[in-house]
Each structure stands twice: as structure tokens, then as C-alpha cells.
């Protein structure tokens, strides 16, 4: 991936939501306009329901309390806030005898210029057309020749129709009762009816026999489109930003050691290299140590760069499993009785991880698959580890103490874990031929090993001098650059230990 690629990806992620938004915005306009129309209808219905509830209760109650003399009680009743509220524009009384009165005041009779039947029922009609003004609902009732009437306030419908945009709605009330067929109230922007594709919603109030039709057209669509731009653009930019942020977080995670290691595990990038262990007396290969390598692109990363982290993060168990599976497969290509030794950490035997793994692998041949347990990481649950090792010992598996003398357990480990093989660390081998104080530790380890009948392998052996020194003290199993470096299986199967000098001389007839 070029260094520019993440920047291009980020730019793409950032621009994608706004571009997508611009593309789909026209498709969203109609649904949003329909939704706004529905909301408006609901708002209107809710308002009317409240108004009907008020009128149905207030008008009969007020009517029954009128004395029809336009005296102080009638005036108080006319103007009582209980009855004279935002739903009533105007109310008036016309007594059978005498001057009328109204909410405007006594002596302010306003004779409705409409025909009102003589029955005592509530009668519904509209105010007469005057100039160009809108007609409004007029309710009237008669009692003993007296007349009361109310003009309903229709300004609410204008107010409601003005939001959320001017001229976006047209509302029509039609009375379905044939007797009131002439009652028809148009409100709002009437031009919408002449448009090509208006949308509408019709609602029927069966109780009052009123049909309400609400219409909308181009103006509402334009408003919807502007809302989509208004909210959609910043939102999609925010989404783009979120995507870019997520991308970088994921990228950083994948580039972090943890992310890289988990990815490597999924991709099977951990493979074993093998370092032969040679008997210095015969130059025969007795076995090999499996040493993990991380194959990255074309290079092999040695464990020093990641193994501590892997062990601390608890990734070592699944990674060892990957490694052991490959070792078991590679053993087929190595001549018996050569074995391969795999590095373990305490966790493998403090739990049943190793046992479970070998179980899953159907118990590979214990003479060919062996283990070494490092002293570098202390064993905390010694009892459990001893039990696990003993159980696996019953199945024939062998363990070595690795890095012997460098860590925590040393002799105690050997004793408590019942282990009879040690690997003498390079740190001590390096002291051969020097005056380093640790050389006496090397001598002590070797003396201890011989006396207690331990099998000893010296690791990190680089020179003939070291081989000879160790051989003089009875340590013959040698692992180190003196014989071979760790190598992949493909190389190992062709590798031959160097012929012993004595044999070479004999072969040449000297």
C-alpha cells in the first residue's frame, strides 16, 4: 500500500456520505413532504378535538344560564372566560323584546344577517360573505323566542397553516349533512388545488359530519428539500468525519503490536525454525529445538521482537498451538529417532492448555515431540504444574528446564517438577575460555548435572573450544552456531552435520 493510500481512503470516506446524500436527497423529498402533511393533519385534528370538546360542553351550559335580558348577569356570562375564549370570536344575545347585547358590550346588538330557523336546536351556518373576508362558522340557538349566537374564531387555522412554511397548505372544511351542504370553508393557499400533483389527506369527523381535506404541493416539497439540505448536509459531513475517525482508529489498532500479532495469528504467519542439537562425540543429530519466527513479507522476525509481549498478553497459548501443529506435521519429514523440542511458558502447565492441545492432536509420539519450560517466567502454581507434568509424563512426554540457572526456579524446579533434563544457557557457555566469575557457576551446574544423572544440553555453543571444554566435563549434546543456526524445515531436511575431523582423516586414508 502506498503511503498516499490511507489519505485517499480517508478523503473517499469523508466525501461518500455527503455525495450519497446529494444523490438520494431528491428521493427523500416526497416522503418527507408526505410526512409533514401527515403531521400537519394530526396537529389540526388535535386542535379541533380540543375545540369540539370545549364547544360541546360550553355552549349548552352557557345557553341554559342566559336570562335573555342583557342585564349585568347576561353581560357577565357573555364575557366570562369560561365561555369567551380563543375559540369564540364573538357572541351575542337578541332577546325577543328589547335591545340586544354582545361580547362587545350592552347596547351592541349585531343582528346576524343570515336566516336562523325557529327551532330550539343548535343551528350551524356561516357568517355572510362581506367584501372579500373569509366566512366563519356561526352557531345559533333559540330559547322562547330569544336568540343566542356565536361566531367561531377561525384564526387558529391560519396560524396552524402558516407553520412550518408559508403557503404550504390548503385546508377545506365541508359539511356532509345535506342540510348544511352550502357550508364550505377554504383556508390557506388555494392555488395548491390548481397544481399538477398535489398531495392530500382527508379526514372525516363523523360525529360532527365534517370532512376536512388538507392539501400540499410544490411549496411543501421545496420546503422539504430545503430541510433535507439544511440537516442532511451537516449530518452527512458528520457521518463522513465519523467514518474517517473509525478508519484511523482501526488502522492504528491494526498497526499496533497487538493488532498486528492477532492479524498475524489469523493469517498463520508464525512458523517454526529448527536448530539441530548434535552429539559432539558422533556428530549425530539427536533432535532440534523449534524456535518461532514471524514471517512478515519476505523477512523472518526473530522472537526477541515480540515474544515477551506475546507471553504477557496471553497470546502465547494459541500461538504455541499453531506452532506445535506445524511441528507435528514437519516431524514426518525428519528421520526418527530425531525429536523436536518446543518452548513452553508456565501458563501451559499451570492450566491444562498443553494437555488439551495434545489431546486435540491425538497424542503425538512423545519420543519425537518434547518440551522445554523456561525459568524466565516463574511458575506460581507449582502444585498444579507438577500435576500436569506428571500426568503428561505418564503418557511418555519429556520436559527440560530451559535457560537453566538464569531464572527463578533452578534446582527447586527440577526437584518439584520431577524434571531430569536441563539446558545450560548461552550465558554460561559464553564464559568458557574467559575469567568470568560465572564460569564457576557453569562448572557447578555441570557437576550437579552429572552427579544427579541429568541429561544436559548446552546451548549457544559457538566454538570448538567450547565444544571441547564441555565434552571434557561430560556434556555432549550441543546446540549452537558451532553446528548450525536455526533454519526452516525446507532447509533442515537437506542439512548434514559436519563430518568429524577424525573420521574425515580416516576416510582420506591419512
129 binds, among Ca ion, ligand C2E, none (CB under 5 to 8 A by kind): none
Binding residues for ligand C2E, per CB under 6 A?
Answer: 275, 291-292, 302-304, 307, 316, 320, 323, 343, 345, 374, 402-403, 426, 459-462, 479-481, 486
Q: Which is nearer to Ca ion, 239 or 340 (CB)?
A: 340
Q: Which is nearer to ligand C2E, 36 or 345 (CB)?
A: 345
Least distance CB 240 / Ca ion (angstroms): 51
Least distance CB 314 / ligand C2E (angstroms): 12
- Helix H, strand E, coil C: the string for 73-104 is HHHHHHHCCCCCCCCEEEEEEECCCCCCEECC
Q: Which is nearer to Ca ion, 48 or 343 (CB)?
A: 343
The yes or no reply on residue 403 touching Ca ion (CB under 5 A) is yes
The CA distance from 150 to 137, in Å, is: 8
Residue 281 makes CB contacts below 8 A (sequence gap 6+) with 471, 476
Q: Which is nearer to ligand C2E, 41 or 459 (CB)?
A: 459
Judged by CB under 5 A, the residue of 48, 343, 370, 479 near Ca ion is: 343
Q: Using CB under 5 A, which of the segments 66-74, 104-112, 303-311, 364-372 binds Ca ion?
A: 364-372
Strand partners, 146: 143
Q: Which is nearer to ligand C2E, 184 or 495 (CB)?
A: 495
What angle, 0 to 180 degrees and rounded to 10, lies between the N-to-C axes of helices 353-360 and 382-394? 30
Q: Using CB under 5 A, which of the segments 139-147, 242-250, 306-314, 371-379 binds Ca ion?
A: 371-379
Give 224: exposed, middle or buried? Use CB within 10 Å, 0-12, 13-18, 19+.
Answer: buried
The yes or no reply on residue 402 touching Ca ion (CB under 5 A) is yes
Q: Using CB under 5 A, which of the segments 1-9, 266-274, 314-322, 337-345 binds Ca ion?
A: 337-345
269 binds, among ligand C2E, Ca ion, none (CB under 5 to 8 A by kind): none
Interior CA angle at 357 toward 353 and 360, to 5°?
140
172 binds, among Ca ion, ligand C2E, none (CB under 5 to 8 A by kind): none
Q: Is 165 helix (H, G, I), strand (E, B) or coil?
A: coil
Least distance CB 303 / ligand C2E (angstroms): 4
126-130 CB contacts, 8 Å cutoff, 24+ apart: 126/182, 126/183, 126/185, 127/151
Q: Which is nearer to Ca ion, 36 or 285 (CB)?
A: 285
Q: Which is nearer to ligand C2E, 116 or 427 (CB)?
A: 427
Q: Which is nearer to ligand C2E, 12 or 302 (CB)?
A: 302
Which grid coordinates are listed for 170?
Answer: 390548503
The yes or no reply on residue 311 touching Ca ion (CB under 5 A) is no
Residues 143-162 within binding reach of Ca ion (CB under 5 A): none
The yes or no reply on residue 321 touching Ca ion (CB under 5 A) is no
The yes or no reply on residue 425 touching Ca ion (CB under 5 A) is yes
Residue 195 makes CB contacts below 8 A (sequence gap 6+) with 217, 218
Would you say 443 and 473 are in contact if contact means Cβ atoms under 8 Å apart? yes
Residue 427 makes CB contacts below 8 A (sequence gap 6+) with 405, 406, 438, 460
- Residue in 224, 315, 219, 204 with CA at minimum distance from that of residue 265: 315
DSSP conformation letters of 351-391: SSHHHHHHHHTT---TTTEEEEEESSS--S-HHHHHHHHHH
Least distance CB 273 / ligand C2E (angstroms): 7
Q: Where does this chain bind Ca ion (CB under 5 A)?
A: 343, 372, 402-403, 425
Amino acid at each position: 500500500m502506498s503511503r498516499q493510500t490511507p489519505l485517499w481512503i480517508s478523503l473517499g470516506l469523508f466525501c461518500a456520505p455527503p455525495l450519497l446524500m446529494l444523490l438520494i436527497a431528491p428521493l427523500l423529498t416526497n416522503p418527507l413532504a408526505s410526512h409533514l402533511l401527515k403531521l400537519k393533519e394530526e396537529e389540526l385534528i388535535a386542535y379541533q378535538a380540543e375545540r369540539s370538546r370545549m364547544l360541546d360542553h360550553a355552549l349548552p351550559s352557557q345557553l341554559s344560564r342566559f336570562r335573555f335580558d342583557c342585564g349585568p348577569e347576561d353581560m357577565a356570562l357573555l364575557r366570562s372566560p369560561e365561555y369567551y375564549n380563543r375559540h369564540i370570536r364573538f357572541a351575542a344575545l337578541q332577546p325577543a323584546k328589547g335591545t340586544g347585547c354582545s361580547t362587545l358590550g350592552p347596547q351592541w346588538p349585531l343582528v346576524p344577517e343570515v336566516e336562523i330557523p325557529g327551532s330550539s336546536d343548535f343551528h350551524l351556518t356561516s357568517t355572510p360573505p362581506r367584501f372579500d373576508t373569509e366566512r366563519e362558522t356561526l352557531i345559533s340557538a333559540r330559547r322562547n323566542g330569544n336568540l343566542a349566537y356565536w361566531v367561531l374564531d377561525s384564526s387558529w387555522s391560519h396560524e396552524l397553516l402558516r407553520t412550518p412554511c408559508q403557503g404550504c397548505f390548503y385546508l377545506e372544511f365541508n359539511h356532509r349533512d345535506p342540510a348544511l351542504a352550502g357550508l364550505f370553508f377554504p383556508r390557506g393557499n388555494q392555488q395548491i388545488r390548481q397544481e399538477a400533483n398535489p398531495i392530500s389527506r382527508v379526514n372525516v369527523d363523523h360525529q360532527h359530519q365534517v370532512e376536512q381535506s388538507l392539501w400540499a404541493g410544490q411549496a411543501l416539497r421545496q420546503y422539504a428539500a430545503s430541510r433535507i439540505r439544511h440537516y442532511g448536509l451537516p449530518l452527512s459531513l458528520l457521518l463522513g468525519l465519523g467514518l474517517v475517525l473509525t478508519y484511523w482508529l482501526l488502522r492504528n489498532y491494526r498497526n499496533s503490536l497487538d493488532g498486528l500479532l492477532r492479524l498475524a495469528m489469523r493469517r498463520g504467519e508464525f512458523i517454526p525454525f529448527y536448530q539441530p542439537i548434535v552429539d559432539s562425540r558422533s556428530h549425530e543429530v539427536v533432535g532440534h529445538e523449534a524456535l518461532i519466527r514471524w514471517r512478515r513479507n519476505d523477512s523472518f522476525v526473530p522472537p526477541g521482537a515480540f515474544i515477551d509481549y506475546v507471553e504477557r498478553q496471553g497470546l502465547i497459548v494459541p500461538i504455541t498451538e499453531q506452532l506445535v501443529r506445524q511441528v507435528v506435521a514437519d516431524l514426518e519429514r525428519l528421520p526418527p529417532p530425531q525429536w523436536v523440542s518446543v518452548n513452553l511458558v508456565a501458563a501451559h502447565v499451570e492450566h491444562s492448555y498443553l494437555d488439551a492441545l495434545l489431546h486435540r492432536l491425538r497424542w503425538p509420539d512423545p519420543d519425537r515431540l518434547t518440551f522445554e519450560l523456561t525459568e524466565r517466567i516463574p511458575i506460581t502454581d507449582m502444585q498444579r504444574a507438577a500435576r500436569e507434568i506428571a500426568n503428561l509424563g505418564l503418557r511418555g512426554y519429556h520436559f527440560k528446564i530451559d535457560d537453566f540457572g538464569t531464572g527463578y526456579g533452578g534446582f527447586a524446579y527440577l526437584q518439584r517438577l520431577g524434571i531430569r533434563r536441563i539446558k545450560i544457557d548461552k550465558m554460561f557457555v559464553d564464559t568458557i575460555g574467559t575469567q568470568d566469575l560465572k564460569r564457576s557457576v557453569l562448572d557447578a551446574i555441570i557437576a550437579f548435572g552429572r552427579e544427579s544423572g541429568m541429561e544436559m544440553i548446552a546451548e549457544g555453543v559457538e566454538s570448538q573450544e567450547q565444544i571441547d571444554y564441555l565434552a571434557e566435563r561430560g556434556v555432549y549434546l550441543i546446540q549452537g552456531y558451532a553446528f548450525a543456526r536455526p533454519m526452516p524445515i525446507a532447509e533442515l531436511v537437506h542439512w548434514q552435520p559436519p563430518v568429524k575431523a577424525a573420521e574425515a582423516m580416516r576416510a582420506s586414508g591419512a
